[in-house]
Amino acid sequence: MNLNARIPEGPLREKWNRYKAEAKLINPSNRAKHKIIVVGTGLAGSSAAASLAELGFELEVFTFHDSPRRAHSVAAQGGVNAAKDYKNDGDSVWRMFHDTLKGGDFRAREANVYRLAECSASLIDQAVAQGVPFAREYGGHLSNRSFGGVQVSRTFYARGQTGQQLLLGAYQALMRQKGLKNLKLHSRHEMQELLLSEGRATGIIARNLDTGELSAHHADAVILATGGYGKIYYLSTLAMNCNASAIFRAYKQGAGFAAPSWTQFHPTSLPQMGSHQSKLTLMSESLRNDGRIWVPKQKDDQRKAADIPESERDYYLERRYPSYGNLAPRDIASRAALERIEAGYGVGPLKNAVYLDFSAALEKQGAELIAQRYGNLFEMYQKITGINAYQEAMLIAPAAHFSMGGLWVDYGLMSNLEGLFVLGEANFSDHGANRLGANSLLQACVDGYFIAPHSVMDFLARAGRVPITEERQAKAEVQIAKNAAQMEKLLAIKGQTTADEFHQELGHILYRKCGLKREKSLLLEAIEDLQKLKERFYNDLLVPGDQKGINFELEKAGRVADYLDLGILIAKDALQREESCGAHFRVEHQSGEGEAKRNDAEFQFVSVWAHQADGGAKLHKEALHFEEIKTSERSYK
């Protein structure tokens, strides 16, 4: 597997400009002859598709949703980071670069992370130009707040619906191009597989989810922007339909899968309340600006939160991490919560939560100011739990949230398969082993608005077009037939267990054996459990109906089938990495104080898995080199 990251030469600060300067161009009048497929219409997909259509390329855009605006980017609440230094608090591109790299525990590519910080300011300019209603100060300037893992205020926000507003900006840009007939949009179409010509991605097979029809779509380049796969844990902050199938099938067709096991668990989700639950709702990290996290000092304390005096509360984050306190990065805050819960100090009916308490802030700043900042989050909390957080402390707990892993890409966001670009949460690029809050809306946007337009054009200029021959079409027909046969196989099982039930079990195994804490013996167990579950899946799956027309259960079954294989890959990846870094915490590798112990000598690399013909996976490594900064122990004490 060729893992040449193709990072431009020269000093860090000049790499991106050099890349752009050296990128090949295509004459505007020739661009329309090149066709690009974009799968996914979240922030990454919509922004890429709109930007490339503006340049004049021919675009075909796919989403399984009924409208591009439903992509899960819409659910991001807290904000988007940019090194504008509007607060005069010492922020800079360099500081943001450093925070992000350190936040990711030095497991990301220096050049990529620097570029993310470098492009961040332009993204805010772009979004403002689109009319995105960011929060404003009274003088009309943009407002900022703080997020975990940093000591500056660089987060821009639109109340608690930042993702929605950014996505609508990108969606509107996309719909504008559609209205201008510069692109073709296929909603309710799910990508099934890639079409490949001599190792180059030259199209996709898509399934029309309303009719069940499979069709081949040929192109000169394919962009996957299909989002994250945290939903593999079943209970997660992701939407019900988030899945890994597009990238997982690309992996099975030869694309490298990088760091599959690096999943972020968000510390401030709502806890699970019962077995009927289908998802967990996130409470934005921004709440940690004013809310204080604690558990009672006494185990099994039956008193209400408000009745427990100050002296009997353990503000464990403030105690363990005095300089960052409640704003400690997510992986650390989540593990600290788990530590307290497992030690028996958990609160709530299932004793699986900790308190997020606003009483001090309410007293000091008044309910009005708190409502202005977090009103809609408090409202959301009440809608879901029926509890008024102005009066009672919130219950929160860690939940699967974000996939730092994804398909391997080079500096131009192209995978090892030529012509296959991967954007947004679907790739592995910038967050290392732990993502800082508010950096991924940014990454999805930067990938789509600012990087893909240059790198995809450069690729097309160098590689040229791929003529649609009869041979290519015939090959696609064969592939379609095979794909249909695979679905038929799932339909033919006619067992007694639904896809959702298998998914629930899968999530349960992963949470317990490959979740916030990982340990060799448990990981080995997880692999065995998952293999057994997979066997049962293929013997006892229940999918009603057939391939024709609307069949949600068939869609789910296909996704769960991929999730089962990905689950095994995740456990293998976690097993292989004999160190703790970021969100990946191996119990065997910790300091005396329970902090993660990284092993740079042996593990300063990104693991990249190659699918093998026998179904197995082979490990490749992309070594990480740090030229401009010195890696250090990641301390937030």
Partner 1 sequence: MKLTLNIWRQAGPQAKGKFERFSMDDFHPDMSVPEMLDHLNRNIMKKGGDPIAFESDCREGICGQCGFVLNGEAHGPGKRVSTCQTHLRSFKDGEELYLEPFRAGAFPIKKDLMIDRSALDRIISEGGFVSVNTGPAAEANSILVGHQDAEDAFDAAACIGCGACIAACPNASASLFTAAKISHLALVPQGQVERHQRVLSMTQQMDLEGFGACSLIGACEAACPQGIALEHIASMNREYRKAWWQKG
Paired residues of 189 in beta bridges = 208
CA dihedral 172, 177, 183, 187 (to 10 degrees): 20
Q: Tokens 């999730």 map to which residue?
A: 563
CB of 569 vs partner 1, minimal distance in Å: 25
State which residue, 350 or 468, has the beta carbon closest to partner 1.
350
Which residue number has the CB closest to ligand FAD?
Answer: 42
CB of 323 vs partner 1, minimal distance in Å: 30
Which of partner 1, ligand FAD, none binds 171 (CB below 5-8 Å, type-dependent)? partner 1
Among 103, 148, 163, 346, binds ligand FAD (CB under 6 A): 163
Q: Residue 445: which region, alpha, beta or left (left: phi > 0; alpha: psi -120 to 50)?
A: alpha
Write out the two tokens for 614: 């026998």
According to the binding rule CB under 6 A, does residue 604 interact with ligand FAD? no
Among 16, 23, 79, 561, binds ligand FAD (CB under 6 A): 79
Q: Residue 629: which region, alpha, beta or left (left: phi > 0; alpha: psi -120 to 50)?
A: beta
Q: In this chain, which stretch among 83-91, 126-134, 374-382, 424-432 interacts with ligand FAD, using CB under 6 A?
A: 424-432
Among 12, 43, 108, 466, binds ligand FAD (CB under 6 A): 43
State which residue, 438 or 596, has the beta carbon closest to ligand FAD.
438
Which of partner 1, ligand FAD, none binds 172 (CB below 5-8 Å, type-dependent)? partner 1
User: What is the C-alpha to C-alpha distance for residues 279 and 163, in angstroms, rounded to an integer?
Assistant: 19
According to the binding rule CB under 6 A, does residue 40 interact with ligand FAD? yes
CB of 555 vs ligand FAD, minimal distance in Å: 10
Q: Which of residues 443-462 bind ligand FAD (CB under 6 A)?
A: 444
State which residue, 277 or 599, has the beta carbon closest to partner 1.
277
Q: In Å, how far are 17, 126, 285, 397, 444 from 327, measured between CA atoms?
A: 34, 29, 9, 15, 24
User: What is the C-alpha to C-alpha distance for residues 308 and 285, in angstroms, rounded to an integer?
Assistant: 25
State which residue, 117 or 522, has the beta carbon closest to ligand FAD.
117
Which of partner 1, ligand FAD, none binds 360 (CB below 5-8 Å, type-dependent)? none
H-run or E-run covering 172: helix 162-179
Which of partner 1, ligand FAD, none binds 479 (CB below 5-8 Å, type-dependent)? none
Which of partner 1, ligand FAD, none binds 383 (CB below 5-8 Å, type-dependent)? partner 1
Burial of 254: CB neighbours in 10 Å, binned 0-12, 13-18, 19+: middle
CB of 116 vs partner 1, minimal distance in Å: 17
According to the binding rule CB under 6 A, does residue 261 interact with ligand FAD? no
Q: Tokens 């600006």 map to which residue?
A: 289
Which of partner 1, ligand FAD, none binds 460 (CB below 5-8 Å, type-dependent)? none
Q: Are 183 and 62 in contact (CB under 8 A)?
A: no
Q: Which residue from 284, 311, 283, 281 is spatially nearest to 296, judged by alpha carbons? A: 311
β strands within 237-345, DSSP E: 257-258, 263-269, 292-296, 313-314
Q: Per-residue x/- mask for ligand FAD, residues 48 to 77, rule CB under 6 A?
A: --------------xxxx-----xxx-xxx
Q: Are 188 and 210 in contact (CB under 8 A)?
A: yes
State which residue, 490 or 522, has the beta carbon closest to ligand FAD.
490
Paired residues of 236 in beta bridges = 400
Cβ-Cβ contacts under 8 Å for 592 (sequence gap 6 or more): none
According to the binding rule CB under 6 A, does residue 268 interact with ligand FAD? no
State which residue, 158 or 395, has the beta carbon closest to ligand FAD.
158
According to the binding rule CB under 6 A, does residue 103 interact with ligand FAD? no
According to the binding rule CB under 6 A, does residue 264 interact with ligand FAD? no
According to the binding rule CB under 6 A, does residue 424 interact with ligand FAD? yes
State which residue, 45 or 348, has the beta carbon closest to ligand FAD.
45
257 three-class SS: strand
For residue 96, count other CB atoms closer than 10 A to its CB.
Answer: 28
CB of 390 vs partner 1, minimal distance in Å: 17
Which of partner 1, ligand FAD, none binds 273 (CB below 5-8 Å, type-dependent)? partner 1
Count, residues near ligand FAD per rule CB under 6 A: 45
Which of partner 1, ligand FAD, none binds 334 (CB below 5-8 Å, type-dependent)? none
State which residue, 282 or 541, has the beta carbon closest to ligand FAD.
282
Q: DSSP labels for 395-422?
A: EEEEEEEEES-EE---TTSB-SSBTEEE
User: What is the C-alpha to C-alpha distance for residues 293 and 393, in angstroms, rounded to an integer?
Assistant: 9
Q: Which of residues 280-299 bind ligand FAD (CB under 6 A)?
A: 282
User: What is the C-alpha to C-alpha distance for residues 400 and 229, in angstroms, rounded to an integer?
Assistant: 10
Q: Are 188 and 209 in contact (CB under 8 A)?
A: yes
Q: Which of 288, 330, 335, 518 is catalytic?
A: 330
φ, ψ (nearest 5 deg) of residue 611: -70, 140
Is 330 labeled as catalytic in the residue annotation?
A: yes
CB of 469 vs partner 1, minimal distance in Å: 34
Q: Which residue from 407, 484, 564, 473 is spatially nearest to 206, judged by alpha carbons? A: 484
Write out the two tokens for 131: 């009319």
Dihedral sign of CA atoms 538, 227, 514, 301 in order: negative
Q: In this chain, which stretch among 93-101, 241-249, 466-474, 484-492 interacts with ligand FAD, using CB under 6 A?
A: 241-249
Q: Which residue from 219, 147, 585 is spatially nearest to 421, judged by alpha carbons? A: 219
Cβ-Cβ contacts under 8 Å for 146 (sequence gap 6 or more): 152, 153, 154, 155, 289, 327
Which of partner 1, ligand FAD, none binds 63 (CB below 5-8 Å, type-dependent)? ligand FAD
Q: In this chain, which stretch among 89-97, 177-185, 436-444, 472-480 interacts with ligand FAD, using CB under 6 A?
A: 436-444
Q: In this chain, which stretch among 132-140, 242-250, 369-377, 538-546 interacts with ligand FAD, using CB under 6 A?
A: 242-250
State which residue, 72 or 115, has the beta carbon closest to ligand FAD.
72
Which of partner 1, ligand FAD, none binds 67 (CB below 5-8 Å, type-dependent)? partner 1
Residues that bind ligand FAD (CB under 6 A): 39-45, 62-65, 71-73, 75-80, 162-163, 190-191, 225-228, 237-238, 243, 245-246, 282, 401-402, 424-426, 438-442, 444
Active site residues: 330
